[in-house]
Amino acid sequence: MTFAELTAFAGRHPLLSLALAGLTIALIVNEIASLFSGVRRIGPAQLTGLINRDNALVVDLRSPGEFEKGHIAGSKNVQPSQFDPENKQLAAAKALPVVLVCRVGQTAGGAAKRLRKAGFANVSVLDGGIQAWQGADLPLVKGR
């Protein structure tokens, strides 16, 4: 496609062109914000390494029902509404790597920012959430 064809298309379809430009800008802003948030996004293989090597604390933010159907071994279930970075139980984990897990990775991002503000230095989010963990064919534990 030539530049002339592209500009002709934009002239014929101004709303589509504006929507594309808006989505592109939103994606760029989101990626830049992620880079400067201080929260790392890690994959299932990296999480496995953190658990085995550094005794990472894994916090699962899904509902109790979802947690009981299957969760990462050793993870702690905390509801987003009850998630308090100032909690005495979490204070002991400030020196540990903390990895937050939710269904697809969105809820965990907001909780991770709260932990960073509370002074946690090593905070990560499982990119893709529990679905990414399952997609990597890694095991889940059922029950509490």
Which residues carry out catalysis?
102
**CA separation for the pair 52, 34 (Å, rounded):** 26
Q: Which burial class, exposed, middle or buried, applies to 113 when counting CB atoms under 10 A from its CB (0-12, 13-18, 19+)?
A: middle
**CA separation for the pair 60, 141 (Å, rounded):** 12
Contacts 24+ apart (CB under 8 A), 137-142: 138/44, 138/48, 138/72, 139/73, 140/70, 140/71, 140/72, 141/70, 141/71, 141/72, 141/73, 142/68, 142/69, 142/70
Total number of residues shown for the chain? 144
8 A C-beta contact, residue 70 and residue 136: no
